Structure 1
Amino acid sequence: MEPLYKQVYQSIKRNIMNGKYAAGERVPSEKELSNSFQVSRITSKKAIELLVTEGLVFRQRGKGTFVSDMKDSQESSETLEKSKNNFLVGLVITDFDDSYVSKVISSIEEAAGERCFVIFKRTLGSVEKEAEAIRQLIGYGVDGLILYPAQAEHYGTEILKMIIAEYPLVLIDRTFKGVGAAFVSTDNIKAAKKGMKHLFNLGHEHIGVLAPSIIETTTIVDRFSGILQAYEEQNKIVNRQLWCTDLKKSLPIAFSQNITPEHDIDIIKNHLKKHPEMTALFAIEHNIAVLAKRAADQLGLRVPEDLSILCFDAHDNNLSGWEFTHLRQNEREMGRLAMNRLVEMMNGNLEIKKEFLDAQLVEGNSTCSMNRIPVKQTSKSF
């Protein structure tokens, strides 16, 4: 049995060929086709796109889709050529505040160039807002989507609909288990392993790990996998009692539940008090490292003399000159690859490609060798 979008496409094509839809006449809209054939907007959109690709119809933004006049094709060809070469792309992100996300957005815009127009939708990390943003963009008529998924354990139905309909979609930063979608991401396993080995090389043995309470996203899972692999490769024993995974400030629920930075700072302080043997912390996210530094300051612990902190990412607008030792992701390459891959998909190459990028270890001011720390400073009491 043919896919639904091909059934819709064949029906419209027959009506064009038998003269039901004459040259210059408007064909049913994506919404009308969706209602008529009882299919999703994604399916009807894909059917229209196939007709456009064959030159049977052309689009006029804001007016609709019309049957091409093959005998008098100059205007139709120009419109068709424009529809092929100038795509409208939807970009769904969590927020602009994150330096990492801002760099990804900037590189996507640069890669779009004159090939694409980009529409931004912000979800603030909400799965519900993400689903609504996807529906709005598809309803508006975007040719493809780049999605920075909200931090959740499972993908939503809107994402599943796009995948089933073979809609041009590229995920960035994180993906979902069992989902056959194109994505571009940092190799988080390799990166986390690199971070842990750096702490081991500095002589740290008792290393705490700080992470958000939702740890089932592929990004977080892969970072934990990298940490565990580093222990295994160094023949070291993992002490999970030093792991703190109760942090909530970086999660979507933080805003709706009025979770303040102080909430997580107190959790980190209690964790440090409970395990005074820790000499280093690996923060899974940069914002968590910031809270860890504040917690250490409030306890009178000096970073890095009393406590080393390593994390993913760092802010570029740091005017103090002090920065965390961190794993720098290649955001610009990530955005460029995502846009280029989406253009390929919008041009008909729907191959599912999964691309991983290396992260670079940047030594900052937040870590130091255990050999540099006087013995009296490693003995903490609160």
Structure 2
Amino acid sequence: MKPKYQVIVDDLKNKILTGEYSIGEQIPTESVMQDMYNVSRHTVRKSILELANEGFLRSEKGSGTYVSNQYQLKSGGNFKYKTIGVITTYISDYIFPSIIRGIEKRLNENNYSLLLASTNNDVEQEKKALEMMLSFGVDGLIVEPTKSNLYNPNIAYYLTFKEQEVPFIMINAYYEELEVPFFCLDDVQSSYLATKELISNGHTQIGFISKMDDLQGKYRMKGYIKALGEAKLRFQPEQLLSYTTETKLDLHKNLKRFLNENRDMLTAIVCYNDEVGLEVVNVCRQLDISIPEQLSIIGQDNSYIAKNANIKLTTLTHPQEQMGHDAADWLIKKLQGKK
């Protein structure tokens, strides 16, 4: 549990960064804040002191405490070049190093700095990343959304960027609540193609494994259902296995159960991505299910783990580095006033 003073610090910082308290505005008095947060005067003063040290507040003797712009000067003034913030769900795993490499290459061409943060697909960590980007005063932002298929409590931060006319673009997914430019795969089409490929090879009992707290999972399931419908194959809910960020740790165990229950039924599986596809391969080996003789598998993304695996996994291509490059290119052109 956070200390009481830290709760106040986080709340006031949030209100300043989202514009609820604007620069130059007086914040509530110490006595009012005591009642607001149900804390002692000492705790309130400790919070104000910390925010003053960070440049968020300034106190005027006999007058009160006001929102300062020093936090912008402290952070933003240190950069020689324009700075682009990049927030991804992960940094060092899967396809993300390639995406970041593409962003970095394009930014370097125009002498832009890169400020990087990751969320681990957690909305609280996304909030901290957005607060950091606001306090640093980034000139633009590239974001991979967190849990994009669920309501996001951080929408106000994105609206603040819009109000401050800081351009941002989303990659891999987007928040449906926001009107925002994005670079994404056609996820419906990718799973449609994967399922259609299996159908063309004679499969009629095709399972699907997907991550359902991200928008990609929702759209990839839509493509799977579309292909089944065109082939006049019935969608069977028991042949679908879903998971989320939180339940991913149980995926191996749940795959064992899923494959055992459908062992005599399924002949093929469309997977959310290569990571899931290779996990299916591992479980099949444990259950003595031969691939592709008894079970065919298709992944997504053509990731480095698929390329380096000891089995040749059928997969669909993701233009990882190109997507990063194009997102950065869009942002640079926007900042330069180009169409």
Q: Give the TM-score taking structure 2 as reference length.
A: 0.72
The answer to whether residue 259 in structure 2 is matched with residue 272 in structure 1 is yes
The answer to whether residue 271 in structure 2 is matched with residue 283 in structure 1 is yes
- 1:91, CA displacement in angstroms? 0.7
Match of 2:45 in 1: none
- 1:191, CA displacement in angstroms? 1.0
Instruction: Give the secondary-structure state (helix, strand or coil) at the position aligned to 2:288.
Output: coil
Match of 2:192 in 1: 193
The answer to whether residue 206 in structure 2 is matched with residue 218 in structure 1 is no
Distance 2:336 2:99 in 1: 23
AA in 2 matched with 1:206 = Q
Correspondence for 2:333 among 303, 323, 344:
344
Change (3 A) 1:112 1:185: same
8 A contact 1:169–1:342 mirrored in 2: yes
Match of 1:325 in 2: 314
Distance 1:97 1:324 in 2: 22
Structure 1 portions without partners, runs of 5+: 1-29, 39-59, 66-81, 352-382
Render the CA deviation track for 1:29-87: whole Å, top value 9, x for unaligned. x99x933258xxxxxxxxxxxxxxxxxxxxx985988xxxxxxxxxxxxxxxx98xx42
Match of 2:303 in 1: 315
Distance 1:64 1:293 in 2: 48
- 1:181, CA displacement in angstroms? 0.9
Match of 1:90 in 2: 85
Match of 2:285 in 1: 297
- 1:274, CA displacement in angstroms? 1.5
Structure 2 portions without partners, runs of 5+: 1-17, 27-71
Change (3 A) 1:274 1:121: same
Render the CA deviation track for 1:333-359: whole Å, top value 9, x for unaligned. 21111001111222346x8xxxxxxxx
8 A contact 2:209–2:270 mirrored in 1: yes
Change (3 A) 1:304 1:174: same
Distance 1:331 1:319 in 2: 17
Distance 1:280 1:345 in 2: 45
The alignment's C-alpha RMSD in Å is 2.8
Distance 1:178 1:111 in 2: 29
**Match runs of 1:72-83 below 5 Å:** none
- 1:264, CA displacement in angstroms? 1.6
Match of 1:78 in 2: none
- 1:232, CA displacement in angstroms? 2.3
Distance 2:309 2:274 in 1: 17
- 1:240, CA displacement in angstroms? 2.1
Match of 1:121 in 2: 117
Distance 1:272 1:321 in 2: 21
The answer to whether residue 146 in structure 2 is matched with residue 150 in structure 1 is yes
Distance 2:312 2:73 in 1: 48
8 A contact 1:163–1:181 mirrored in 2: no
Distance 1:334 1:293 in 2: 28
Distance 1:125 1:64 in 2: 27
Change (3 A) 1:63 1:320: closer
**Match runs of 1:1-382 below 5 Å:** 34-36=22-24, 86-115=81-110, 116-152=112-148, 153-155=150-152, 156-157=154-155, 158-212=157-211, 215-245=212-242, 247-248=243-244, 251=245, 253=246, 260=249, 263-275=250-262, 276-316=264-304, 318-319=307-308, 322-348=311-337
8 A contact 1:125–1:151 mirrored in 2: yes
AA in 2 matched with 1:265 = H
Match of 1:375 in 2: none
**Aligned length, in residue pairs:** 270
Distance 2:178 2:76 in 1: 33
- 1:178, CA displacement in angstroms? 3.0
Match of 2:35 in 1: none
Instruction: Give the secondary-structure state (helix, strand or coil) at the position aligned to 1:191.
Output: helix
Matched residues, percent identical? Answer: 22
Change (3 A) 1:37 1:346: farther
Distance 1:170 1:132 in 2: 19
Q: Greater CA radius of gyration, 1 or 2?
A: 1
Change (3 A) 1:218 1:315: closer
Instruction: Give the secondary-structure state (helix, strand or coil) at the position aligned to 1:92.
Output: strand
- 1:237, CA displacement in angstroms? 2.0
